[in-house]
Amino acid sequence: MENLGSLALLLAFCLALYTILAALVGKWKEKPYLALSAERGVLVLWGLITVAAGTLIYLIFQDDFRMMFVAAHSNRDLNPVYKFAAWWGGQEGSLLFWLWILSTYTLVAVYTNRRKHRDMIAYVISILVAVQTFFLILVNYVASPFQVLAAAGQITAVPDGQGLNPLLQYPAMVIHPPMLYLGYVGFSVPFAFAAASLITRQKGDTWIATTRIWTMVTWLFQTCGIILGARWAYAVLGWGGYWAWDPVENASLLPWITATAFLHSVMMQEKKGMMKVWNMVLVSATFFLCIFGTFLTRSGVVSSVHAFSEGPIGKYFVTFLAIGIAGTIYLILDRLDYLKSESQLESVISRESSFLFNNLVLLASCFAVLWGTLFPVISEAVTGEKISVGAPFFNKVNIPIGLFLLFLTGVGPLFAWRRTSVESLKRNFLWPSIVSLALGVALAATVTRHFYALMSFVLSCFVALTIILEFYKGARAIQAKGGGSLVGCAVELTHRNTRRYGGYIVHMGIVFMFIGFAGAVFTQEAQDALGVGDTLKVGAYSFKLTDLNQKDDKNYASHLATVEVSKNGELLQTMHPERRFYHGSQQPTSEVAIRPRLHEDVYVVFAGMTNDGQKPVFQVFINPLVNWVWLGAFVVIGGTLIALIPSKVKLAYAKTQVIARTRRHEVVAQTGRE
């Protein structure tokens, strides 16, 4: 069966080379049949890669432990859901998963745009299939998922596999990697369209609409992936937090930052014909940062709980990045005349200016995260000593940047194009400013004087009020004309301009997340070894160990603790943190017990046993406001989905738009008779 998978990948590699040549020669020599065969080649490529992926999944579910990949990442007693997740649980399978998603995206992108962008579709195919070819080289010749175990020149097998990494046996991790890959891989499509527009010197910006929609969709997937990863880190790793500025976490954040910048600056190109060079740089940077992130997780150059083991594929990624970046820089520099701006910035207090500041600040954040991530690698290469960069550096740099971005989130969308009058500033920002400053004074007097926490609460209040007032004023205007409830009018307002008001909802989600981020200032924690009947106190909470049981499952053995949680002497809940030891991988993990509430989480970790093995060790965290992070994430996702829905006005225009006039229409128009 493994031969079928290997043959499919080898045929896919040969077909990919043909598809690139057919697309280019068909375009250059004006051979329509070659161009059509390239489009069909995209479909067949997807079919071959799907056969290879299906073969690997079949081998995993058949417990075929002759296969090196299956033996390393699955076992007989593994839950079927996690057996499927084993597809991307190891390096070789994850590369095939990356390739399969890319082939699917390529198929969808080509067949939905082949009639809209005929001048450039050949180059779009060539670029996307060229990226597929790179990954086909990896899975065919460098990291094949179909390698078999052998001893003394004979194919052999092991009785059982090592099983999936215990840290990955968590429901969110079945969804997190696919979401992250859908984001990572999806950014290839906007890059392909942008590069193709440069190659063909496209007049106008018709390709921008396609690129923007694809970027929004993949940005949404990337957002979901990042949030699910943060939730996994919070619920599984057992350290009480959700973001540790780990190198692989940073690698997922970098393309998200540049894609966010592009989604804002592209509006300037659509409205004013400005920032064309900058948008090309952002689209290209987003794609190459995705490839860079894939490289980081697989090359072994950084140490991370998220990364795969060190392998030989790092040099291939470096070569691909070097060739791709050099080619893109050449294209942009060669087309600078074509990318000239059509307008100039007229005022510092304008929407154009706010977008520019937004992009500059996001770029600063991206550079800081990239520098901090690579600094250990650079220091080791230069001095021979790896100097690690921890969370304090990233927090010191990015917290002020994040707060400034939060401020721009509130003021930017309400600035007028070209210039904003003083009267408009008073009308939009006077009351939100007064209320938010009053809140800051009250919090400083009663809760905390931590500067960044106060600024976060004040700015969150300011931005939330500006958004609420925008919805209120628009809904009142609709209500004054047609009646109805205020909520119904707000829904109608959103439907009329989904892109604008969906964006406001996204911004409100960001506000909620910043409230959750600020809550980290008030975290309380403690750790101690407890015997049955002992109590650990943290703030107003008491944690009493009442029982400790052992159990043995097919997949793991565990110690299950029973902990009574009280607050101010009142029993709140019984919690059950657990410590597991997985048989297949011989690895221990902690199953965290969490009591979630909107205002705070109670978080209990069974960290292991004391050195003498007599007492269990517990870590306890009280995490205020952390659930506002997850709530904000849901709001961001909902706002993005709304922004992707066509506006009511545009739908009505599309139904009435005149596409063409025939001779018969002209006669009818003149005579007034059918």
Q: Which residue has the higher pLDDT, 115 or 527?
A: 527
Centroid of chain to Cα 444: 35
- d(C-alpha 624, C-alpha 497), whole Å: 36
Q: Tell whether the model's pLDDT for residue 203 goes beyond 80.
A: no
pLDDT average, residue stretch 92-98: 93
pLDDT of residue 227: 94
Q: How do residues 430-456 score in pLDDT, each as one tens digit?
A: 888 999 999 999 999 988 889 999 999
CB 385 within 8 A of CB 379: yes
Helix (H) or strand (E) run with residue 588 in it: strand 587-591
Q: Tell whether the model's pLDDT for residue 557 goes beyond 80.
A: yes
Two structure tokens written together for 137: 């080289």
Q: How do residues 364-376 score in pLDDT, each as one tens digit?
A: 999 999 999 888 8
CB 17 within 8 A of CB 25: no
Helical segments of 497-614, H only: 498-518
- d(C-alpha 279, C-alpha 284), whole Å: 8
Q: How do residues 576-599 score in pLDDT, each as one tens digit?
A: 999 998 887 788 888 899 999 999
Nearest CA to 516 out of 458, 449, 599 is that of 599
Q: Report residue 658's pLDDT band, with 50, 70 and 90 as the boundaries.
A: very low
Residues 404-441 as b or e (16 or more Cβ within 10 Å = b): bbbbbbbbbbbbeeeebeeeebeebbeebbeebeebbe
- Sign of the dihedral defined by the CA atoms of residues 28, 34, 35, 41, in that order: negative
Q: How do residues 278-303 score in pLDDT, each as one tens digit?
A: 889 999 999 999 999 888 887 666 65
Least trusted range by pLDDT, from 90-94, 252-256, 380-384, 617-621:
380-384
> Quick one: CA torsion of 634, 390, 240, 540, rounded to 10 degrees?
-110
Q: Report residue 674's pLDDT band, with 50, 70 and 90 as the boundaries.
A: very low
> Quick one: CA torsion of 497, 500, 504, 505, rounded to 10 degrees?
50
Q: Tell whether the model's pLDDT for residue 100 goes beyond 90.
A: yes
Helix (H) or strand (E) run with residue 150 in it: strand 150-151
The CB density around residue 367, as the number of other CB atoms within 10 Å, is 13
- d(C-alpha 632, C-alpha 470), whole Å: 19
Two structure tokens written together for 131: 């990226």
